[in-house]
Amino acid sequence: MFTHLNEAEKAVHFPPDRRLVVGLKPRVFVIILVLLLSTVGVAWIQYLIAGLPQDPTLALPTEAQSPKGFPAWVRLSHWVNFFFLSILIRSGLSILFDHPRLYWNNDCTPGSEWARFTPVTVPKDKLWTAKDDARYISPVLGLPGYRHTVGIARGWHFIHVPFFVLNGVVFAVLLFTTEHWKRIVPNSWQIFPDAWSVFVHYATFNLPGEPNGFYQYNALQLLSYFAAVFIMAPTAMLSGVCMSPAVENRFHWLPKLFGNRQGARSVHFLMMISYVGFVIVHVTMVAVTGLTRNLNHITIGTDSPTDRTGLFIASGIILGAIAFCFYAHWVSWKRPRWVQHVEAIINGNLWKLTINRLKPRIHYDKKDISPFFWPNGKLPVSEHWKELAKNNFKDFKLKVGGLVEKPVELSLDEMKKLGEEQNITMHHCIQGWSGIAEWGGLPIKALADLVKPHPNVTTVVFYSFGEGLYGGHYYDTHTLKNCLKPQSILAWEMNYEPLPQVYGAPLRLRIENQLGYKMVKWIERIEFTETHKTVGKGYGGKNEDDEYFDLIANT
């Protein structure tokens, strides 16, 4: 399958160290222990002292008084949701492993993570970039798996997100326009003590009487389904939105619902874990309480305990989902442009019409600056850059040309005379980490006013002295409109000091509604052009060309 990969690509995707380690902070174990003691522990104490509580399922209404069965739209939505979740969870794991650490703080300082999925302790005696820190993940777990496949993984993830949301919206609308809402929406506070009573039975391995799910659920089931639909799904969607640089830099209050941007990422992960746990328990209970009958309920809408039609259909759906996972893996490695193109058609156009229109706003001040900022990318190996660096880039000249009336070459001193803007902003890396820093530099609008782009210019190309992951000169493109938005600058300053070499000296780009890979470091020259399609391989940047990243990077 991988014969088309060159040696550099194979070295990236198949590293010698493929260990999978799950590390949690001690306080996380304490929290887990407290949760277990306050639920299972309390249930056992009640059982040992007072015995089993009365089984509330005995007082459930008769079958004739409850909404009956599962309409076709419920059955279809159930299996569509199963398919989407299998794709979203597996692609989400691949995305997670490109920065296998989870935090509750925005600075992402190594050692401050509450969970990590890497055995590596970030070394202090050498340069260790965020790219170095990415981990291998087995394709059994992740889609597409392996290492540094975040571009393809995001493609699969975001292709399915809009349809997952649409499926949920349609389900909610139909739920509340029929009587089916009574099946999963509590209508009395009595549901909570009843659910606890059922939980005590389960926790102490005394199965309560099981109602026929074709007519009603017990209290704990009802609350579980309500939580899955109306708490977990919206929380997963909202926390995902809060990781968008376009959203965070415009509506700073929104990620604060989760504490901050990294809090949103952690909650997004916890919702994934919650769904995995829900599915495991759900499938187990379906099997324990009557597999054939329950599958007839949710596939063909009948209440037969002996007809195996539902079992065969459900098995076919599950096998089909597994087959699609194999197909998706093949596509990821043999036809990755398909993923990139489809994702661009769906979300690229969606972002252009919505969040890409947002203008960033100033939110942060000096006290918010991160104590640590992950370095990333390869330091240039260009001899020309090295010579310029020896003299602190005093001899550097930025070349600005292309479709402009007045091509120019500007030194750093000449650029500083054109004006300087200072902004404190949050950097959002596609890998998942973030950091807040001050950036000082020339507004791109001032540069555009100087060179006067032709009317047909839509795109600005930024070329780097550095190289891409697989070699070759790094570059990226932005729409002229994004370059002219607030806080879009060519930065020569970071945290009130000259821009360090590791962070992009002599110049790096800041376009605050985009992800970090669009913020070209070690800028050599700039070109104004009609379209990104005439540059490189025509996909808008080095990472877009080689790693199938998004052209519009708002999320």
- When the candidates are 3.40.50.2000, 1.10.10.10, 3.40.50.1000, 3.90.420.10, the CATH number that belongs to 361-546 is 3.90.420.10
So what's the pLDDT on residue 3? 55
* E strand intervals along 429-530: 434-443, 459-467, 473-479, 489-494, 497-498, 508-510, 523-529
d(CA 20, CA 38): 31
Which among 44, 12, 134, 75 has a CA at the least distance from the CA of 430? 134
Q: How far out from the chain centre does Cα 438 lie?
A: 25
Low-confidence ranges of the chain (pLDDT < 70): 1-4, 58-66
Q: According to the 3-state scheme, what is the secondary structure of 254-267?
A: CHHHHCCHHHHHHH
> How many other C-beta atoms can be found within 10 angstroms of the C-beta atom of residue 79?
17
pTM attached to this predicted model: 0.94
Q: How far out from the chain centre does Cα 197 lie?
A: 38
The full DSSP string for 357-393 is G--------GGG--S-----SPPP--HHHHHHHHTTT
So what's the pLDDT on residue 413? 95
Q: Is 44 exposed, middle or buried (0-12, 13-18, 19+ CB in 10 A)?
A: middle
Structure confidence by residue, pLDDT tens digits, 68-78: 889 999 999 99
- How big is the CA angle at 212 (ends 209 and 214), to the nearest 5 degrees? 160
What size, in residues, is the chain?
555
451 close to 404: Cβ distance less than 8 angstroms: yes
186 close to 226: Cβ distance less than 8 angstroms: yes
Coil, helix or strand for 37? helix
Positive or negative CA dihedral for 355, 359, 363, 364? positive
Structure confidence by residue, pLDDT tens digits, 521-537: 999 999 999 999 999 99
One-letter amino acid of 309 = T
So what's the pLDDT on residue 59? 62
Coil, helix or strand for 28? helix
45 close to 52: Cβ distance less than 8 angstroms: no
Q: Is 123 exposed, middle or buried (0-12, 13-18, 19+ CB in 10 A)?
A: exposed
d(CA 120, CA 110): 10
Token pair belonging to 106: 């925005």
Token pair belonging to 454: 């032709």
Q: Where are the domains of the chain?
A: 7-355, 361-546
